[in-house]
Amino acid sequence: MDESDGIDGNNSPFSTMSSSDLEKVEKSTLKVHLPNGGFNIVKFGDATDVRGIIHLITSRPPVGVRAFESLYAMRLCHRNSKEEHWLHIDTTMYQVHEKYESRHPQDEWRLENSLVLVLGGLMYELRIRYFPHNLHKLYEKDKFTFYYLYDQIKCDYLKTDVNNVDPEIAVQLCCIEIRRFFKDMPIIALDKKSNFEYLEKEIGLHKFLPQSVLASMKPKTLRKSIQHHFKKFANLSEIECMFYFVDLLDSVKKCNQETFKCALGSGWSIPVELVVGPETGISYLTDKSSTQPTILANFRQVQSIQTLINETEPTKAVLQMKIAGASEVLTITCPNLTIAESMADLIDGYCRIANDTETSFWNAHPPKYRRSSSRSKSGSASPNGSKTTEDYAEIVDDEGDYSTPATKDYELIRSRLELGEIIGEGQFGDVHKGRYRCKDNQMAAVAVKTCKIESEQSMGEKFLEEA
């Protein structure tokens, strides 16, 4: 990470910065939104990958390394168009900007709070996308991630349109959350008018009920219903409230699975709703009346994933998976490439978890990192005219291309190289500042990319391919 740092914008001590500190903050920073309304500000370099940003945020002191870090993902949303893109963990920030920045005009860029440069319509979100099989195990081994997931589930529920939720269940969920919020509230506390008015006016019922439920129920009816149901949950502990809330919500809204409208096969295809989750694996429903999805494969059976543009219908895309034991490739036709890539990222994440590996199963081949010809060697201009940090991902020789190594000897003499401080972190290892003594004994500033010793053999091969 390019001397990466995180700043929590949710009443954290990190959110207080002196004017001298503000002057030191570089403009190549990213505002990452959290489910509870807070945010982190992260400094990054072009070669920083999404995996590195996730690790930086989730492992900040005093939290430490997360046992379930593999559950996290980053989502990029465009607020105006409602576009959503899940960013694969191996994607570098350079590739993110190249792929998504071009879709939106430069005048959407703005400097927010004189601290972080963001794309006006774009919002980066850190979310848990890959749900665990067992929430109790998650709570035991990684309480930080458990509370993060609970906040996400609760906030998603309050923000979404839940017209299909029974009002009585909505009120019960409200009472459970009130109990968790007020840990020491007596069982009859809400029977007192002044206490309920305090809850209603000072705290706000919108923190416990979706807006659609508040709009559909008369205030007096709602009050009596809350007073009645609260007594059922008044003796629950905080953690019991959280598990009860998730279980009750699960009966009306499956938070641990995602669905996609697509078609099995290509050409003559069958319209289905693909269901992906830790319990269902990769399954499908043929119509809305179906309640039990048909399983296509579990995540341990997936050997590779590929996304392609549909040759017969260029507006559509195809997701292909090689499944162990299957004679043919599993082909799924998607409405567009964005959906195909979202499905590929979701399945790939579950496959990595199921196989306990960091190596991707998705055979995506994004362009290797190279400095754009429009960027100067001393730095790159950001849309507001300021310069970002110098590219440290790799050195590009103007005389030739690395695709033809036989034309020149690129191997350096190790004894001439001096390693300095770590300035970045990526998928394969650390990036150091360094100095190299040339043949004329002149010292040249370089960046040195290292490979982790404990990396798998395949990771080492990918490292050499990228170099």
* pLDDT tens track for 264-290: 987 777 899 999 999 999 999 987 667
Q: What is the pLDDT of residue 411?
A: 65
Which residue do the tokens 């991707």 mark? 360
**Which residue in this structure is represented by tokens 């794309």?**
119
Whether the per-residue pLDDT at 396 is higher than 60: the answer is no
Please provide the CATH number assigned to the domain covering 414-452.
3.30.200.20
- CA distances 355 to 129, 303, 347, Å, are 17, 10, 12
Q: What pLDDT is recorded for position 457? A: 53
- Over residues 228-246, mean pLDDT: 94
Architecture of domain 137-251: Up-down Bundle (1.20)
pLDDT of residue 116: 40
Distance between CA atoms of residues 121 and 108, nearest Å: 7
Half-sphere exposure of 223 (CA within 13 A, CB side): 17
Q: Which amino acid is at 280?
A: T
Under 8 Å CB-to-CB from 138, ≥6 apart: which residues? Answer: 68, 132, 145, 146, 149
pLDDT value of position 357: 94
Q: Is the dihedral of CA 203, 206, 209, 214 positive or negative?
A: positive
Query: Known binder of ligand: residue 452?
Result: no
Rounded mean pLDDT, 395-399: 28
Confidence tier at 441 by pLDDT (50, 70, 90): confident
Residue 320 clears pLDDT 90, i.e. is over it: yes
Asked whether residue 393 carries a pLDDT value surpassing 80, the answer given is: no
457 or 45, greater pLDDT:
45
CB atoms within 10 A of CB 50: 24
For a pLDDT cut of 90, what percent of the chain falls above it? 44
Lowest mean pLDDT among 352-361, 402-411, 456-465: 402-411
Structure tokens that stand for 212 in this block: 């659609």
In order of 329, 440, 445, the CA distances from 399 in angstroms are: 43, 19, 18
Other beta carbons less than 10 A from residue 400's beta carbon: 12
Q: pLDDT tens digits, residue range 72-125?
A: 999 998 877 778 999 999 999 888 888 886 666 544 544 343 334 444 567 899
| Distant-in-sequence, close-in-space partners of 297: CB < 8 Å, separation ≥ 6 | 281, 282, 321, 323, 326, 330
User: Given a cut of 60, is residue 332 above it in pLDDT?
Assistant: yes
Q: Which of 35-49, 59-73, 120-134, 243-257 has the lowest mean pLDDT?
A: 59-73
Fold of 28-129: Ubiquitin-like (UB roll) (3.10.20)
> How far is the first Cα of the chain from the last one, in angstroms, to the nearest whole number?
18
Please name which of 309, 299, 410, 417 lies closest in space to residue 347, comparing C-alpha atoms: 299
Q: Indicate if the pLDDT at residue 370 is higher than 80.
A: no
pLDDT in the model for residue 380: 36
Q: Which of the pair, 111 or 164, is modelled with greater confidence?
A: 164
Please tell me the distance from the alpha carbon of residue 253 to that of residue 273, in angstroms, as a whole number.
16
Instruction: Specify the pLDDT at position 313.
Output: 77
SS (H, E, C) the chain: CCCCCEEECCCCHHHCCCHHHHHHCCCCEEEEECCCCCEEEEECCCCCEHHHHHHHHHCCCCCCCCCCHHHEEEEEEECCCCEEEEECCCCEHHHHHHHHHHHCCHHHEEEECCCEEEECCEEEEEEECCCCCCHHHHHHHCHHHHHHHHHHHHHHHHHCCCCCCCHHHHHHHHHHHHHHHCCCCCCCHHHCHHHHHHHHHHHHHHHCCCHHHHHHCCHHHHHHHHHHHHHHHCCCCHHHHHHHHHHHHHCCCCCCCEEEEEEEECCCCEEEEEEEECCCEEEEECCCCCCCCEEEECHHHEEEEEEEECCCCCCCEEEEEEECCCCCCEEEEECCHHHHHHHHHHHHHHHHHHCCCCCCCECCCCCCCCCCCCCECCEEECCCCCEECCCCCCCCCCCCCCCCHHHCCCCCCHHHEEEEEEEEECCCCEEEEEEEECCCCCEEEEEEECCCCCCCHHHHHHHHHHC
Residue in this structure with the two tokens 């959906």, named with its chain if needed: 339
More confident residue, 345 or 459: 345
Q: Domain boundaries in the chain?
A: 28-129, 137-251, 258-363, 414-452
Higher pLDDT, residue 352 or 435: 352
Confidence (pLDDT) at 120: 53
Topology adopted by domain 258-363: PH-domain like (2.30.29)
